[in-house]
Amino acid sequence: MAERLRLWLERTRDGYRLRDAESGEVVRHEDPRIRVVKVAGVSYRLDSVQDDGFSPGQRLSLVPEPENEHDPHAIGIWDADRRAQAGYVPAEIARDLDATAWQAVSLLEFRDGQQRAGLRVLLAPRDAWIGAPRA
């Protein structure tokens, strides 16, 4: 039986990095137990992404869109209350992802020199424990 994944969010200047809660080791974004993704379509929702619901450390909602005319595998990424949408799980990942088996947490907001915004999100199994520092 696989041991339950336990992650601790550790503050950085721009957001959070991941640590294994038991060993204290840094968990790399390439770890096969998780997915860390750059949210697709953020440039169409710049006002929404500024909402505090997408601040680093916030829990997010994964919303499947089987009726999406462009991609029946689309999974929207929304704030926890489903008031605002940041964008989508990238198509190449959403195709093989069961949104009901995963949870999402905002990790990092960024801007580049051309005023483009972005958001990186942790996708972890639904039963994973994810601890965040108190504000």
Q: How far is CA 108 from CA 49, 95, 103, 120, in A?
A: 11, 23, 16, 5
Other residues' Cβ atoms within 10 Å of the Cβ of residue 122: 24
Mean pLDDT across 125-132: 93
| pLDDT recorded at residue 48 | 82
* pLDDT tens-digit map of 105-125: 999 876 655 555 688 999 999
| pLDDT recorded at residue 116 | 56
Is the confidence at residue 35, as pLDDT, over 60?
Answer: yes
pTM (2 decimals)? 0.89
Mean pLDDT across 25-44: 93
| pLDDT recorded at residue 132 | 79
